[in-house]
Amino acid sequence: MGLGMTNRLKAEVWPEIPFDAWQETCAALHLWCQIVGKYRLKHSYWVNHSWHATLYVTSRGLTTGPIPDPQVPVTVSFDFCDSLLLVEASGGQIAHFRLESMSVAEFRSRFDTAVRDVGGNCDIHFRPNELPDPIPFHQDNAQRPYDGDAVQRFHKALLRVHDVFSRFRTGFHGKVSPAHLFWGSFDFAVTRFSGRAAPVHPGGIPFLPDAVTREAYSHEVSSAGFWPGNGFGEAAFYSYAYPVPKGMSEYPILPKAAAWNDSLGEFLLPNTAVRSADNPAETLLSFLQSTYQAAAKTAAWDSYALERPLGECGRPSEDKQVRGA
């Protein structure tokens, strides 16, 4: 890791986000992100592995980027600093409403109104994905809390994770995803591809069409990500491969707090272990690098063709291929 990144992130406080304290707010935010994400999905051209549907981290929250709504291009952003949902159209029209305690049905209604106010059309699929026993958005009338301070801590964590994930993805010549948030499972992820086709995925993810899952895993991957706590009971990082190569689970990884989880079939690292480290960014990067190596080595990826030195700010990378030419 370059000294600049090390010093920059070491000086930043890695936020504590105990899941028990904000799990109800997290559940509400997850569903709100699904509503916004489905609007992007509705109007965006399909990109490999559903990359057209994800959300991106900004300095103030999350955004869709420009959505090609047939009526008018629209950008939707969560502003966690001022607790606002912003809907902006290309002609300069802006609509917004406060992020506060409300039901999912109320959020859906306010969002629909905001999109129509700027000239768009929010005709989206009515039901959440990848959740057990989903309640249609317009029927989910239970009042949900909104802990703005907890959401801001989550956002600060995403900013730290985004910086490390963005640096990690520079060390790869092959196909690699952006660092982005999947609103279905509500995890922030970055994925590398070997370039080889993978066995057909069995599917079976709750309330997600198998065709979507099979397209997402059409090729071999090594993927890492961050969960705020949903599914684990605590914030954690993960790393897995599809298909899982023989011997991956026994491969030595870093840091010591990371371990293979048999039931999930992937490596896990608690956020508390990253947060308590002398250098959280370096600790997380060691997890990303070593678990990728576990996948790539045991699956015999072409490391010479695919890997490159990690990028530095303002300086072109010295590629192995260029030096050996």
State whether 123 and 236 are in the same domain: no
State whether 153 and 119 are in the same domain: no
| Structural tokens at position 89 | 């159209």
Q: What's CA 76's distance to the chain center, in Å?
A: 17
pLDDT (0 to 100) of residue 174? 94
pLDDT (0 to 100) of residue 321? 55
d(CA 64, CA 37): 7
d(CA 93, CA 284): 41
pLDDT (0 to 100) of residue 1? 44
- Per-residue pLDDT of 235-276, as tens digits, reads 999 999 999 999 999 999 999 999 999 999 999 999 999 999
d(CA 220, CA 321): 23
State whether 78 and 31 are in the same domain: yes
Is 318 among the domain residues? Answer: no
Q: Is residue 322 pLDDT above 50, yes or no? A: no
Helix or strand (DSSP H, E) at 242: strand 236-242
Residues with Cβ within 8 Å of 45's Cβ and at least 6 positions away in sequence, in order, are 52, 68
Q: Is residue 171 pLDDT above 50, yes or no? A: yes
State whether 228 and 101 are in the same domain: no
Q: Is residue 232 pLDDT above 70, yes or no? A: yes
In 3-state terms, what secondary structure has residue 261? Answer: strand
CB atoms within 10 A of CB 91: 9
Whole domain around residue 261: which residue ranges?
149-306
State whether 44 and 169 are in the same domain: no
Domain end position, chosen among 120, 139, 158? 139
Query: Percentage of the chain with pLDDT > 70?
Result: 94
- What does the pLDDT average to over 10-31? 88
- Per-residue pLDDT of 44-101, as tens digits, reads 999 999 999 999 999 999 999 999 999 999 999 999 999 999 999 998 999 999 999 9
d(CA 115, CA 97): 11
State whether 155 and 275 are in the same domain: yes
Is 319 among the domain residues? Answer: no
Helix or strand (DSSP H, E) at 271: helix 271-275
Is 4 among the domain residues? Answer: no
d(CA 99, CA 237): 27
Largest interatomic CA distance in the chain: 64
Q: Is residue 136 pLDDT above 80, yes or no? A: yes
State whether 127 and 208 are in the same domain: no
Q: Helix 148-169 vs helix 280-298: angle between axes, to the nearest 10 degrees?
A: 50
Is 209 among the domain residues? Answer: yes
Contact 50, 212 (CB under 8 A): yes
d(CA 205, CA 225): 18
State whether 251 and 111 are in the same domain: no
State whether 157 and 287 are in the same domain: yes
- What does the pLDDT average to over 162-170? 97
* pTM exceeds 0.75: yes
**Tokens 């080889």, residue?**
196
In DSSP terms, 187 is beta-bridged to 182
Is 77 among the domain residues? Answer: yes
- What does the radius of gyration of the chain's CA atoms come to, in whole angstroms? 20
Q: Would you list the DSSP string of 151-207?
A: HHHHHHHHHHHHHHHHHHHTSBSS-B--SEEETTTTEEEEEEEEEEE-PPP----TT
Domain end position, chosen among 139, 173, 193? 139
Residues with Cβ within 8 Å of 272's Cβ and at least 6 positions away in sequence, in order, are 16, 234, 235
Amino acid at 1: M
| Structural tokens at position 144 | 């949900």
State whether 30 and 95 are in the same domain: yes
Is 215 among the domain residues? Answer: yes
Q: How many domains does the chain have?
A: 2
Top pLDDT among 39 and 304 is at: 39
